[in-house]
Amino acid sequence: MIVIPAVDLRDGKCVQLVGGEYDQESVRLDDPPAVARDWIRQGFGRLHVVDLDAATGRGNNMDVIRDIIREANGVPVQVGGGVRDDARIEELLDEGATWVVVGTRAVEDRDWLEEMAHRFPARLVVAADVRERQVVTRGWTKTLPLDVVSFVEDIGALPLAGVLVTAVHLEGQMQGTDLPLMEDVAEASPWPVLASGGVTTLDDLRALEHRGITGAVLGMALYTNAIEPNRIIEEFGA
């Protein structure tokens, strides 16, 4: 299993939110490209970048994203947040993103997801943001009557790069992740599963690996030094 630092962007800054609430910000760093560069310097081999403003219709951080990809200097970067048309996917890939994370429209518009998956095979990661097993969209503000496992099974034939499951109800709360949820999704998914939300300890990471998770996206645990980066690199590599 790999561990992927999250670089979440709001108003041009690197932030961490608590419980999926846009206004509940507990970490704010002024220079996101420098943050990304530091994670790479410490030995991480992949970055997860989210444009929170684009996800919630408050603008975008495209200039910062370009700088982060440039600072990554060839290290794979997956970028998401507000990606709802083919032009945005193309723009991010052209700027050097290795994968594009698609969420709201991918969940709400199956025909669009199918078209994009075949147009950009193995380049899209579907973000299934979840609150108590129900999929949420539009920056975690809309709850759909859709069980995440059923959703993953339904799109299983598409040529995706993976699926990212975020336990929104645990995001940023440092209380551990939702292991039963992640295990069920891993069993249902034909592609790699990335887990996010609530991962707090090395034991959480070991438990995710044991349940078949391919990668874990870490935010708060890294930014608060709850898990020392060197310990992660030693055990899970890059």
- For 227-236, write each residue's pLDDT tens digit: 999 999 999 9
pLDDT at 110: 95
Residue 16 has pLDDT above 90, yes or no: no
CA–CA distance, 222 with 200 (Å, rounded to integer): 9
pTM: 0.93
Query: What does pLDDT average to over the chain?
Result: 92
pLDDT at 50: 94
- Report the Cα–Cα distance between both ends of the chain, in Å, rounded: 9
For residue 16, which amino acid is it?
A: Q
pLDDT at 25: 61
Interval 70-87: pLDDT, tens: 999 999 999 999 999 999
Residues acting as catalytic residues:
8, 129
Domain boundaries, the chain: 2-236
pLDDT at 137: 86
pLDDT at 238: 61
Neighbours of 131 (CB within 10 A): 19
Residue 172 has pLDDT above 90, yes or no: no
For the domain 2-236, what is the CATH superfamily, name and number? Aldolase class I (3.20.20.70)
Residue 22 has pLDDT above 90, yes or no: no
Residue 173 has pLDDT above 80, yes or no: no
Residue predicted with more confidence, 18 or 143 = 143
CA–CA distance, 167 with 133 (Å, rounded to integer): 8
Residue 18 has pLDDT above 90, yes or no: no
For tokens 């998914």, the residue is 189
Say if CB 137 and CB 116 are below 8 A apart.
no
Phi, psi of 164 (to 5 degrees): -110, 120
